[in-house]
Structure 1
């Protein structure tokens, strides 16, 4: 499938679906279920934390798609994309990743989504050159930050995981501390 074919299919599917959006990662068509209330609340929590610490930044939700992969032939909709305010002005539905400081994923409870969130997404975001990737894992009740992307290997060289309730320092270029205590309220 070409990227042009994917974009036509994705646009058609989004008009017709209230249950999912489509992505194109590693040459494969992927569906991404829409968030539940706890997922949306965690996304809101992360946005508040980031924008309180860095008011000149914005955390964009999954309505903003990114061109991903080393050759930018993939299309992903992160649960959160942290970038300076105005970074995506003038761009279309699928924005260039330049200027992105961090992507974030909040896991769903289905097996397929969890595997993609834990394995495929960190790899594709690293190969894109995005400095940090954050996973808020509701099933494991952990928060993991990946850093030091290796463009050649398509992965991050460093990662740090904490259990909900602990503090996690996000490295540069974000350089903020997340107190994850509140996240305990938003898991099953």
Structure 2
């Protein structure tokens, strides 16, 4: 059976990486489900949410670091390239990695929704599947549209088997291997 045209990638991963290397500094590119995606630049509140999470992670798990805007090889067979808003890894785990790190050492990927037309498809549909297929144990989505956090975990067969959605202000338990409890009250300050 011949693959449908919409199932074929726009280019190879190698061609994407070459394109991305030559993109202007003001543009972040990702390669999700075989398509080139332009990731919006983060606004101030978006950056503050990631900074808040970095501080919390450092306080409770000094053996880990939340890297912001980190490139990951995602999806099945590492054919995707996602620039996660945050990637939680053991300290030193990215040493020697290139711009697109293997997802093996990642304990959690984090995305904060942006105010653009692609955020639903990218952050709520495609990225959970890509991160699950790469075997990342936890995906945390900070959803600014409805002021909630969604914790995805238990990746299996390219999907997360469990997800829990809680409003800003709730206490959120990030499961193993992250094992951090978040008091999300401060996120209300950064909700647009």
TM-score class, shorter-chain normalisation, is: over 0.9
Match of 1:112 among 118, 124, 144: 118
Q: Work out which of the residue numbers 22, 38, 41 in structure 1 matches 2:48.
A: 41
Residue 113 of structure 1 and its aligned partner are, at CA, apart by 1.9
The aligned runs of 1:1-150 (5 Å cut-off) are: 1-13=11-23, 16-18=24-26, 20-62=27-69, 64-150=70-156
Q: Distance in 1 between matches of 2:189 and 2:121?
A: 23
After superposition, the C-alpha distances for 1:10-49 in whole angstroms (9 at most, x for unaligned) are: 0111xx241x300001111111011000000000001111
Q: What's the CA shift for 1:55?
A: 0.4
On the 8 A contact 1:108/1:114 being kept in 2, the answer is no
The runs of 5 or more residues in structure 1 that have no matched partner are: none
Which residue number corresponds to residue 169 of structure 1? 173
Runs of 4+ in 1 over 3 A off after TM superposition: none
Measure how far apart 1:110 and its partner are: 1.4
Q: Does 1:186 align with 2:178?
A: no
Give TM-score, length-normalised by structure 1: 0.94
Aligned residues: 182
Moved more, 71-80 or 106-115: 106-115
CA RMSD of aligned residues (A): 0.8
The one-character-per-residue Cα deviations of 1:70-118 (angstroms, maximum 9, x if unpaired) are: 2001111000000000001011111111111000000011121232101
The match for 2:3 is none
SS in 2 for 1:88: coil
CA distance in 2 between partners of 1:173 and 1:181 (Å): 23
Contiguous gaps of at least 5 residues in structure 2: 1-10
